[in-house]
Amino acid sequence: MKDKFLDYSYKYGALVIIALVIVLFSLSNENFLSYDNLADILRSISIVTFVAIGVTFSQIVDGFDLSVGSTVSLTTVVVASMMVFYQLPLILVLTVPLLIGVLIGLLNALLIVKVRIPDLLATLAVMYIIGGVHKTYTKGFSIYNNMQLPDGSKAPGKFTESFLWIGQGKLFGLPVPVLLMIIAVVLVHIFLTYTRWGRQLYVTGGNQEAARLSGIQVNRVRTMAYVLSGVFAAMGGLLFAARVGSGQIDAGAPVLMESVAAVFVGYSVLGAGKPNVIGTFFGAVLIGVLLNGLTMLNLPYYAFDIIKGLVLVLALAITFIHLTRRRSA
């Protein structure tokens, strides 16, 4: 009976918790299930989901990317400066941050794959480097429309309507960020499940030596994982800037913890037992629902981290208890 309960909680526990949380908050506040509030939840988790997908890629190859939060912050201020300071065209505003994500991913891969620094230490160092770069670039100030420059003049540009539409607009009655999130989750799921590259990522993460002996170019696969992590974090930064209409220097700080929590919650969704994008999405949904519901209950914002930490501890406990039991069986 105990084993059956543990198996059930491992496979369906995350989904049951999401359902219970939704029921609890809907009973506590009649506006929780309104269209506007649900759309706001999905819009907010779209940013976390993009960043968490990046973390998922690094986890699949048995790594970890702590630099995604700083990448979000950097790309957010880069996007803002390109429009507010330099009035550059939209195509560059969308392309340059993605290239920055690629470069950060390559830097991480260089340190981890070539120099062989442990992933946590390497990405922690890159996190601090990126944080220092974007704060030095902005001199510690956020970037917004008509901001005053050091010489006393005002910034000549502003966030364009076409760019803000990406984070605030609607298409077919749904928020654009939500549609982009759904498309990303579906495409990444197909990539990981049905393509040769996706299978190679999982094989590499499971056993690098076995993957190497089977002919897989392990270093190239691991490099690809960290580049994809950087690119998806950059996409999260783009969405953040488009949603708030400014470049926030600490935009990625809370996103890092939420994305990591989403990935680990996703381990136990439907008993996957491994990083997977569908589980990551449901993990992001759980985090988003919790934060939104707690806000509607007027819980102090400084208590939110306690809740997020407890959710992460619960997800990790369920996951690793089950994995330990399965290995000892």
Q: What is the distance between the alpha carbons of residues 65 and 105, in angstroms, rounded to a whole number?
A: 9
Q: In the predicted model, what is the mean pLDDT of residues 100-123? A: 95
pLDDT tens for each residue of 151-179: 777 888 889 999 999 999 998 888 999 99
The stretch 224-243 carries a mean pLDDT of 96
- Alpha-carbon dihedral sign for residues 118, 320, 12, 328: positive
Query: Taking all residues of the chain, what is their mean pLDDT, rounded to a whole number?
Result: 87
d(CA 154, CA 129): 29
> Residue 8 CB: number of other CB atoms within 10 A?
12
pLDDT greater than 90 at residue 185: yes
Measured at the CA of 301, the angle between CA 299 and CA 306, to 5 degrees, comes to 85
pTM score, whole prediction: 0.92
Class of domain 2-328: mainly alpha
Residue 271 has pLDDT above 70, yes or no: no
For the stretch 63-80, pLDDT in tens is 999 999 999 999 999 999
Whether residue 218 has pLDDT greater than 80 = yes
Angstrom distance (rounded) from CA 321 to CA 7: 10
Q: SS3 letters for the chain?
A: CHHHHHHHHHHHHHHHHHHHHHHHHHHHCCCCCCHHHHHHHHHHHHHHHHHHHHHHHHHHCCCCCCCHHHHHHHHHHHHHHHHHCCCCCHHHHHHHHHHHHHHHHHHHHHHHHHCCCCHHHHHHHHHHHHHHHHHHHHCCCCECCCCECCCCCECCCCCCHHHHHHHHCEECCEEHHHHHHHHHHHHHHHHHHHCHHHHHHHHHHHCHHHHHHCCCCHHHHHHHHHHHHHHHHHHHHHHHHHHHCCECCCCCHHHHHHHHHHHHHHHCHHHCCCCCHHHHHHHHHHHHHHHHHHHHCCCCHHHHHHHHHHHHHHHHHHHHHHHHHHHHC
β-partners of residue 170 are: 175
**Exposure string over 272-291, b if 16+ CB within 10 A, otherwise e:** bbebbbbbbbbbbbbbbbbb
- Summarize the confidence of residues 32-40 as an average pLDDT: 87
Q: What is the pLDDT of residue 135?
A: 87
User: Could you tell me the residue ranges of all domains in the chain?
Assistant: 2-328
Report the pLDDT value the prediction gives residue 324, as an integer from 0 to 100.
Answer: 67
* Contact (Cβ atoms closer than 8 angstroms) between residue 222 and residue 201: no
Q: How far apart are CA 47 and CA 235, in angstroms?
A: 8
Closest of 64, 248, 55 to residue 142, by C-alpha:
248
